Chain A
Amino acid sequence: MNQKTLEKNAVVTNGLGKRYRSFWALKDCSINVPKGSVSALVGPNGAGKTTLLKLLVSLSKPSEGSAIVLGSSPSQDSTYISEIGYLAQEIPMYSNLSADEHIALGAHLNPNWDSELAKKRLNELSIPLDRTVSKLSGGQRAQVALGLALAKKPKLLLLDEPVAALDPLARVDFLRSLAQAVTDANGELSVVMSSHLLADLERVCDHIVILASGKTQLCENIETALESHKLLVGVRKEVVESDKYTIIQESHSARQTTLLVRLNDMKYHDPHWHIKDVDIEEVVLAYMGQTRSQTDDLAVKGDLK
């Protein structure tokens, strides 16, 4: 990892892996998250999204590889954790404490805490501050948790499936709050948010990391990803390998062959193919489907035995 990469990125990982007994929850994960970006961390269940985020906030230790977050490797030091906001998947909070008391808790435990900001945000959303959080709705809890993570004034915000349990309206509200926070931070805040709700991510994210089968499949700016991935449609043919592109997904019908490819040569042109643009959802599904079909194959073979 050279110095320039480290300066440009909020997160750089190199061959990061985590093993639980004999099972690798994450393997060979090498990603860059540019400073000031809002990155979507996508992948199927069990792809290692939660594991990766926990490694970055030093809630767990890597089995191999390394990570550099905001210029230093993850540790339990208070100086390291003070720069990172983290929201765990189940949105844990002390059920017998109110939002107000959680804000007080943060004020006692963090050096740069902004209680006023947190209270203002929650007041704007008409969330009762004096009620114990166990009596709040799921959407309100998520907003309180986001407010707490932001009141810490982090430089990096790690959100683990924050909207998964929310209804569509609460989800939109949450993402709007997040987008507002990113705007307010004026490029000082980087966000990594995991989710499998692709439409939501597209709304707020400008960078994408696809994890599948415990590995990094893609780590790119979303615009770049949309430019470099194309759909090739043509008359059916079996052999379609080329050094001009890498096939992510291929499908054959009786008459035609459809390929979702990543172009190695951006000016690629071939009269045999009809070249179409793709949206981010198609790209993600192609990468996830690629690994899915591999596992499906294995499953089918297993069944035949």
Chain B
Amino acid sequence: MNWLAWRQHRKQFLVVGIILALFVAFMIPTGLNFWHTYQTALSTCGKTDTCDQLNGELFQSSIDGLLMHLVPVAIIFMPILLGLFWGVPFLSKEYVDGTNKLVWTQSVSRRKWLSVKLIWVLVGAAIVAAGFAVLDTWWSKTGNALNLNRFTFLFFNTQGIVPVAYAIFAVSVGIMFGAWFRRTMVALGVTLGVLIAVVMVVVPNFIRPYYESPISYKSSLLSNTRINGIPVSNSSDTSGATLVVSQATVDSKNQAINWANPPSSCIVTHFPNGNPIIPSGHSKAVEASPTKAGGVAPIESQNGGPPVSLDCLGSLGYQTDIKYQPSSRYWDFQRIETALYLAASIIPISVTYWLVLKRDA
């Protein structure tokens, strides 16, 4: 059975192997170059005391800065492509060509036939994904050091160990739909839809932020702690690679502000210079205007409510409450998500066994 599995799938292993080799050929030199550029900059910035600015400036204006985003964009689709091109035809092609009837009438049970083939394709997918993940994690060390937030969707999904679990899940889902519909095109469409929805929309937005209960960080609304209305972080915890779960303005009792009906004493109608304020409508707007003291008086209006002075809210005890996952939890989250996907893969694999063993040829 191993002979057949290898003979059937060696071409697709070869094709993906070549693609991985091309990525290696491209990413090793660029990765080394990034790191070299970064190290050089580090060694010189100390003299001019500009190391703080490296984050924002190094690579920012060059093609390299674009590459640091483009390459992960390509790699993020790798598990989905494996699901489509390895997973879907894995059984649907056998059904379409009728070769399942040939191979199921040799002296090997369907269970063994499926098990051996599954091991080959799933281990193959895991190896390929691990190759891409290791390569991209190494390649991204410059970006990570420069504080391209590796907790954000694009980088989290392409680094660490999760790509391996995505690949196994994606291939399993493709195999299941291939066996279910027995028609390649239909199975391709459904698999694509399901994988995009799960891997790229539902999990990163609605499930991942809650693997552990987020930490709350409160910052004052007073303008002397803010630059242009954005809180100046004085905690190293919220800087770096963090996953922001939610951000709200709350009062001293932790109740979120009702922007449509804010504390009336803080509603402002005129800028300090006497010009009337035209509310900017329902979208969030932060408007800064010069104060008599020469500072900035941020004004905010949300949900169609009236403009409110943030300094006034701050003096009433309102604070910005940021709920976030700190960078120290990055590997916890990688492990949790990997376990989640591996466990979820049991569903499509079980359904596939059921479809192959219980349904008529």
Interface residues of A (CB under 8 A from B): 54, 57, 59-61, 76-79, 81-82, 84-86, 88, 90, 92-95, 97, 101, 104-106, 108-112, 152
Contacts and interface: CB of A to CB of B under 8 A. Distances in A.
B7 interface: yes
B101 interface: yes
26 contacts: A54-B360, A59-B101, A59-B360, A60-B360, A61-B360, A76-B110, A78-B107, A78-B109, A81-B105, A81-B106, A90-B98, A92-B97, A92-B98, A92-B102, A97-B7, A101-B7, A105-B7, A105-B106, A108-B3, A108-B4, A109-B108, A110-B107, A110-B108, A111-B107, A112-B107, A152-B106
Interface string B333-361: 00000000000000000000000010011
B104 A59 contact: yes
A250 to B, nearest CB: 39
Contacts of B109: 76-78, 81
A61 B110 CA distance: 14
Contacts of B104: 59, 76, 81
Interface in B1-42: 1-4, 7-8
Contacts of B282: none
Contacts of B4: 105, 108-109
B69 interface: no
A85 B110 CA distance: 16
Nearest to A59: B361
Contacts of A61: 360
Interface of A is mostly: loop
A95 B97 CA distance: 9
A138 B206 CA distance: 56
Interface string B90-124: 00000001111111111111111000000000000
Nearest to A108: B3
A109 B99 CA distance: 14
A108 B5 CA distance: 11
Nearest to A148: B102
A104 B1 CA distance: 11
A72 to B, nearest CB: 14
Nearest to B105: A86
Nearest to A86: B105
B359 to A, nearest CB: 9
A90 B98 CA distance: 8
A106 B103 CA distance: 9
B105 to A, nearest CB: 4
A277 to B, nearest CB: 40
Contacts of B111: 76
Contact of A78 (B99, B103, B108): B108
A85 B3 CA distance: 21
A173 B286 CA distance: 87
A97 B7 CA distance: 9
Q: B103, B107, B361 — which one has the most chain A CB atoms within 10 A of its CB?
A: B107
A92 B96 CA distance: 10
A88 B102 contact: yes
Contacts of B97: 92, 94-95
A60 B107 contact: no
B360 A104 contact: no
Contact of A108 (B1, B98, B357, B361): B1
Given A81-B108, A105-B3, 15 more contacts: A54-B360, A57-B105, A76-B104, A76-B110, A78-B108, A78-B109, A88-B98, A88-B101, A92-B102, A95-B97, A101-B7, A106-B106, A109-B1, A109-B108, A110-B106
A27 B349 CA distance: 35
A88 to B, nearest CB: 4
Contacts of B105: 57, 59, 81, 84-86
Contacts of A57: 105
A146 to B, nearest CB: 13
B110 to A, nearest CB: 5
B111 to A, nearest CB: 7
B104 to A, nearest CB: 6
Nearest to A20: B360
Contact of A60 (B7, B8, B361): B361
Contacts of B1: 108-109
Nearest to B103: A109
Nearest to A97: B7
A79 B107 CA distance: 7
Interface in B100-152: 100-112
Contacts of A109: 1, 4, 103, 106-108
A92 B101 contact: yes
Contacts of A104: 3
Closest 4 CB pairs of A and B: A92-B98, A60-B360, A82-B107, A59-B361
A60 B104 CA distance: 11
Nearest to B110: A76
Contact of B112 (A60, A78, A93): A78
B157 to A, nearest CB: 35
Contacts of A82: 107
| Residue in A61, A88, A104 with the greatest tally of chain B CB atoms within 10 Å | A88
Contact of B102 (A79, A93, A110, A111): A93
Contacts of B100: 92
A108 B108 CA distance: 10
Most chain A CB atoms below 10 A, which of B8, B97, B101, B361: B101
